[in-house]
Structure 1
Amino acid sequence: MRHRSDGTLVFVARSDRQIKLSGYRVEPGEVEAALRELDGVTDAAVVRDGRSLLAYVVPETCVADELRAALHAVLPGYMVPARYVPLPALPRTLNGKTDLGALPRPPVSRPGVQEPFRTPQERALAEIWREVLDVEEIARTDDFFAVGGHSLSATKMLARVSDVLGLDLPLRAVFETPVLAELADRLRHAPQALSRRVPPAPRDRPLPLSFVQERIWFLQQLEPESTTYNVPRALRLRGRLDVAAIARTLDDLEVRHEILRTTFPEIDGEPFQEIGEPRGIPLTVVDGDEGLLHEFILAAGQEPFDLAKGPLLRVTLVRLAADDHVLVVVEHHMVHDGWAQGVFLRDFLELYQAHAGGRPPCLPELPVQYADFAAWQRRTFQGERLRSLTDFWRARLRGAPTLLSVPGDRPRPEVLGSRGGEETLFIEGPLARRLREYGRDHDATLFMVMLAAFAVLLRERSGQEDIVVGSGIANRQRPELENLLGMIINTVLLRVDLSGRTSFPEVLEQVREVCLEAYAHQDMPFEKLVESLRPPRSLSHTPLFQVMFNFLDTPMPSLVVPGLDVEVLNAHNRSSKFDLNVVVIPHAGQRLGLVSGPDAPERIAVLLEYNTDLFTVATVRGLLAEYLEILTESVMP
């Protein structure tokens, strides 16, 4: 232990060597050994404290920040304790071992919450964390991921940093220094952020499609009657329902979101966005039968849309009983993505409650509309910025296999259809909790853990070690895009090299690095990447990747509505855009309405959509069973 000239304490290791680690699993004994190696620490004990580690340190003089900084120099971040308790001596059992049961419990209140922030950067960053993570208290010693953060919220947080503080940090910085005080310190040396705000687009000329809309439009022209890009959703409403308020709510939604009154006609073969005047979204009310509800939802999702004429949203209210209704909403992907589902539900429920209760609605202002985003995207991704992104992805994908072939039940046809099915796996109890803990222990997110296990499954089934999967990314880094409806999602390619990686920690480390690289270059529009790479075209499979792996953890509103019991039903239109499409839902009980109980938020759902030209139900269920086995063997002690 040394003293700086300013009086602060510095803990240093007694030797120049790094502490040797036995793999990636956190063993408290290894952390204790690292603490005892620090000059000025005579004894230490480390125990698990919920999601993190708690360290008891002798002598009593204990400066947590300096201890934490010293440990970061010799240990990976996931092994550094979050809390430190000074003791004059450790309690011992009769045989001389540390008596863990006799260690005093620290105060119930979270550590550091009462400790004042030391710099303006810490205060500003804490306020941003409170908003993004929706928590009341943030301490300067808090770890971003330990208090509920993940990759998506980290991206949102950095966008706020750019807007509020005018500073630019890479996403990797959050993984390398997730503790608020340390991340705030990095802000002192961060470069100035470039303004990327989305401005309103002029409405006196034809409005372009976004890149992803253009691709979907083109595919729809090839098969005008296809319903592959139809998105059905269903909301069960039990209780006294105000049908007139439902109708007024739909009308207000059309006024609020231009994309709901947008069509896509052509000029000389080129599509453009045409924003119509509000005319009201028709609400069809029908009597239904509980036993036929599933078939009704399926049929509603399989009715084609006309992109040039619209509307691209249909709403039907199925009356099962006087106090039991199901709202069936079908949208085309030209106006919808996974993030927009939460936005639509929040706006719908707030507007309904306002109309039913006779009060004005309380919704955030929309500074821009979807057409503004599309025009901004077209202007932004060109020239040097597009070349730089293209160069990265060209290098990253050089030599990648063009086909990931998971053996199915039928030969791959020359023209692959789009008929699909879906099977669901629920993960709960100790395994669900352990998957989250394992990610935190290895400086990885739950998404990375789940993807690593799926990559192992793909290797075992396909025999390939060079694996490329697609993954949807929200693409809403800008705060002004968060409350918009519309198709904004982007696709990134995750290329995982499993050659020579025999242990799961090795696979996870590789997946983590691949994901961080991809997130740092996520702005590359997938459609421009395909255009640049010009992969061989085949009607038997999609270009660049055939397996999709998604993580549905976008914000969802509260479903608490006075007088109504609201439940989100799972809906599918029996189509598939890829060979396999995995959707991991980390809080299935809150989102799907398929599970309930006090532990529902901890339950993880894995939805596996598959192409029925290639796979049978039995094979897909076998894939899910093997996936569950790999997850269990990889993370359970």
Structure 2
Amino acid sequence: MTHIPEDDSAEAGLRAVEQAALGHPDVARSAAVIHTGSGGAERLTVYVEPAGHAPTPEPDLIRDFLARTLPVFAVPDTVVLVRTMPLTASGAVDLEALPVPRRSPYGADRSARAELLTELIGAVLGVQRVSTDESFVDLGGHSLLVARLISLVRSVLPLTISMRDVLDAESIASLTARLDLQGRPDDRTAEVPAPPPTRPALLGTWAAGLRCTGPLDQDALAQALRDITARHTVLTPDGTPPALSVVTASEEETAVHVRRASARLEETPDGPRAVGALLVHGPAEHSLLLVVDRAACDEESLDVLVHEWCHAYTARSRGHAPTWELLPGAGPRQGAAESRRTADPAHGRERLAGPPAQLTLPYDRPRPAQPSRRAGSIPVTVPAGLHRDLREVARRYDSTLRMVLQAALATLLADRAGETDVVIGTARHGRTRESLDNVVGRLSDHAVLRFDLSGAPRFGEVVAQARQEALAADERRAPGSERLVDVSEPERPGARHPLFRTALELRTGSGDRPRLPGISATPLRLPTAFDLDLAVVLAETFDDLDEPNGLLGEVRYAADLFDRATAERIAQRWEQLLRAVAANPESSLDQLLTDADAEAAPQGPTAVVGEARR
């Protein structure tokens, strides 16, 4: 093992990490850098230039190699592959030209099974949040706790796990990744799924923007847009790069320009699938917009593109081309990653056979024949105490917070609609390995969860259904919602989603804000096409001690169907139900709904549901 004294200088420590990386046979050159994220946390990144004789190695395999070689405190948080290491005129590595690794806001767990495994490990160790970069032993685990973990995992999941698996794992991340592969093809060498030859059924656009203060180089910005679309060819099916449109506009006109860009994309299906725009508000005041066709990529791809546009701009503004992290090769064949998503269509048909045509929620207006796809938003804040209590409910039922929230949402929908057969969608992370983190494409989708709430079940039974449904999407390789549209051939009225009308998304990570040199950049909230009736979007937050610090997010609603006041009441009712669940998680659904009725609605400016009164 490489010896690095903990009190050694940072520079000497970085050089020792670089030398350890060079010990891997597939590494030709390496550089170690400490990056500071948006929240101030430092992350050690090792950049690797692969040896010319070898196939492109997997970043997680190189990290596992370093975990066996280096002391725990020196193991890198991230390994980034670059085709060629950028050099200065003197021949040293140009550290400023290296791409800063993007931290996903969706969290580190790659599947429902991996997320559940991490939660079970946290329950055994008695910690609220597991540091996935450390090993079970480093986190205080010992042989008695290993035995308890093995028993717990075997009781919840159909996995084979041994004491050696736990004790020999270099990190929690590598342990969950290894267990998550059981019974599945190892797709780490599979090609990335090729983009669809035709536009699929689910249309619309994603939009992201940055409000920028400071001098912007318009030529560098336009070249950077060409750089990212050349890197991700799914955005340019005909080979034509998109042009950057520059217009003078007020900040109030931003939404208008987003809608115009979206309309332009949908009207030209054979042209570029991305549009960039720079709105000039004043000499040093701008809004930078990126609108992308949903047929080309998923929502996380948008986060990738914004970060890479900023990275390319930084390089071009300094007079050189950007250095890119290597991407796995795309090809015409569908690799294992795609086959896992689309396998077993018969199971998908059986699982969704005969769901209700629609849940009749308290709509304020009839559904129009041609929906406008406009959405409203109610800010939602779940306080730290309730956040902590809900995580404890999850552990009581050997599940995850996501599953508890899904069960609560299904309960709310059944109550509002007077139905017992409830279908909701939940976002499913499609980047199943580290090398896919910066791939732009339709890798993520929605898993479709179906709940049977007949017979007055207790809440724990509904949580068990949520766990079973989520794991079925993994274990039985159930197809995602986009594929189910094809195999089930459901009726698609208007422009709305044919399989579910309500969705829940929980983001468990904390993404980094994009950065531009010499410019203050703040993310913009932009309108996008909304195909659902309701969607609950939440993000977990934690304090400096990794204790639960609340859930932040919003309830989005179809403006065609709901008045804002109605959506506010639904959001407030859901918060009251969450409080009832936290107080009496063993109760029946009927009792929880009665308790929620008794819960006093928040009043005035202290309301948990933000902007409840206008």
Alignment match, 1:628: 575
C-alpha separation in 2, matches of 1:120 and 1:635: 35
Distance 1:618 1:480, change over 3 A: same
Alignment match, 1:462: 417
| DSSP-derived class of the 1:443 partner | coil
2:604 is equivalent to residue 612 of structure 1 = no
Distance 1:432 1:392, change over 3 A: same
C-alpha separation in 1, matches of 2:391 and 2:480: 31
1:518-597 alignment runs, 5 A limit: 518-522=473-477, 524-535=479-490, 538=493, 542-552=497-507, 556-573=511-528, 575-586=529-540
Instruction: Provide the aligned C-alpha RMSD in A.
Output: 4.2
2:253 is equivalent to residue 261 of structure 1 = no
| DSSP-derived class of the 1:247 partner | helix
C-alpha separation in 2, matches of 1:380 and 1:301: 28
1:392-411 alignment runs, 5 A limit: 392-411=347-366
Contact 1:342 1:556 (8 Å CA) reproduced: no
Contact 1:400 1:468 (8 Å CA) reproduced: yes
C-alpha separation in 1, matches of 2:212 and 2:126: 43
1:363-402 alignment runs, 5 A limit: 363-369=324-330, 372=331, 375-376=333-334, 381=339, 389-402=344-357
| DSSP-derived class of the 1:244 partner | helix
Once the 2 structures are TM-superposed, how far is the Cα of residue 408 of structure 1 from its aligned partner?
A: 0.9
Contact 1:423 1:621 (8 Å CA) reproduced: no
C-alpha separation in 1, matches of 2:538 and 2:565: 20
2:227 is equivalent to residue 285 of structure 1 = no
Distance 1:364 1:300, change over 3 A: same
Amino acid at match of 1:606: G
1:428-443 alignment runs, 5 A limit: 428-430=382-384, 431-440=386-395, 442-443=397-398
C-alpha separation in 2, matches of 1:208 and 1:486: 7
C-alpha separation in 2, matches of 1:362 and 1:118: 43
1:134-533 alignment runs, 5 A limit: 158=177, 161=178, 169-170=179-180, 193-194=185-186, 197-199=189-191, 209=196, 213-216=199-202, 229-262=204-237, 275-276=238-239, 279-358=240-319, 361-369=322-330, 372=331, 375-376=333-334, 381=339, 389-413=344-368, 415=369, 417-430=371-384, 431-440=386-395, 442-522=397-477, 524-533=479-488
Distance 1:509 1:304, change over 3 A: same
Contact 2:146 2:163 (8 Å CA) reproduced: no
Once the 2 structures are TM-superposed, how far is the Cα of residue 354 of structure 1 from its aligned partner?
A: 1.9
C-alpha separation in 1, matches of 2:547 and 2:280: 28
| DSSP-derived class of the 2:267 partner | coil
| DSSP-derived class of the 1:376 partner | coil
Q: What's the % identity of the aligned pairs?
A: 27
C-alpha separation in 2, matches of 1:209 and 1:505: 41
Once the 2 structures are TM-superposed, how far is the Cα of residue 461 of structure 1 from its aligned partner?
A: 0.1
| DSSP-derived class of the 1:215 partner | coil
| DSSP-derived class of the 1:488 partner | coil
C-alpha separation in 1, matches of 2:126 and 2:548: 22
Distance 1:345 1:504, change over 3 A: same
C-alpha separation in 2, matches of 1:541 and 1:312: 21
Amino acid at match of 2:561: L
* Residue deviations 1:364-394 (CA, integer Å, cap 9, x gap): 112323xx3x641699759xx97x7123323
C-alpha separation in 2, matches of 1:453 and 1:621: 17
Contact 2:472 2:478 (8 Å CA) reproduced: no
Amino acid at match of 2:452: D
Once the 2 structures are TM-superposed, how far is the Cα of residue 545 of structure 1 from its aligned partner?
A: 2.5
Once the 2 structures are TM-superposed, how far is the Cα of residue 449 of structure 1 from its aligned partner?
A: 2.3
Distance 1:198 1:577, change over 3 A: same
C-alpha separation in 1, matches of 2:413 and 2:292: 32
| DSSP-derived class of the 1:254 partner | helix
Once the 2 structures are TM-superposed, how far is the Cα of residue 320 of structure 1 from its aligned partner?
A: 2.3
Once the 2 structures are TM-superposed, how far is the Cα of residue 232 of structure 1 from its aligned partner?
A: 2.2
C-alpha separation in 1, matches of 2:472 and 2:485: 19
Distance 1:608 1:420, change over 3 A: farther
* Residue deviations 1:73-122 (CA, integer Å, cap 9, x gap): 8879999xxxxxxxxxxxxxxxxxxxxxxxxxxxxxxxxxxxxx996885
Amino acid at match of 1:631: L
| DSSP-derived class of the 1:334 partner | coil
Once the 2 structures are TM-superposed, how far is the Cα of residue 446 of structure 1 from its aligned partner?
A: 2.8
Distance 1:243 1:501, change over 3 A: farther
Alignment match, 2:46: none
Count of residues in correspondence between the two structures: 446
* Residue deviations 1:404-461 (CA, integer Å, cap 9, x gap): 2223122345x35243222132215323444445435543333222212211110110
Contact 2:344 2:476 (8 Å CA) reproduced: yes
Alignment match, 1:126: 170
* Residue deviations 1:53-85 (CA, integer Å, cap 9, x gap): xxxxxxxxxx96343256558879999xxxxxx
C-alpha separation in 1, matches of 2:533 and 2:282: 40
Amino acid at match of 1:320: H
Once the 2 structures are TM-superposed, how far is the Cα of residue 496 of structure 1 from its aligned partner?
A: 1.4
C-alpha separation in 1, matches of 2:481 and 2:559: 26
* Residue deviations 1:178-220 (CA, integer Å, cap 9, x gap): xxxxxxxxxxxx568455743389xxxxx87268x4324xxxx
Amino acid at match of 2:334: W
TM (norm. structure 2) is 0.62
Once the 2 structures are TM-superposed, how far is the Cα of residue 484 of structure 1 from its aligned partner?
A: 1.8
Contact 1:198 1:480 (8 Å CA) reproduced: no
Contact 2:542 2:550 (8 Å CA) reproduced: yes
Distance 1:587 1:324, change over 3 A: farther
Once the 2 structures are TM-superposed, how far is the Cα of residue 495 of structure 1 from its aligned partner?
A: 0.6
TM (norm. structure 1) is 0.60
Contact 1:496 1:511 (8 Å CA) reproduced: yes
Once the 2 structures are TM-superposed, how far is the Cα of residue 298 of structure 1 from its aligned partner?
A: 4.6
Extract unaligned runs of 5+ from structure 1: 1-45, 53-62, 80-116, 131-143, 145-156, 162-168, 172-189, 202-206, 217-227, 263-274, 590-596
Once the 2 structures are TM-superposed, how far is the Cα of residue 527 of structure 1 from its aligned partner?
A: 4.6
Distance 1:588 1:345, change over 3 A: farther
Amino acid at match of 1:576: F
C-alpha separation in 2, matches of 1:520 and 1:254: 35
Contact 1:346 1:556 (8 Å CA) reproduced: no
* Residue deviations 1:563-582 (CA, integer Å, cap 9, x gap): 22221111114x43122233
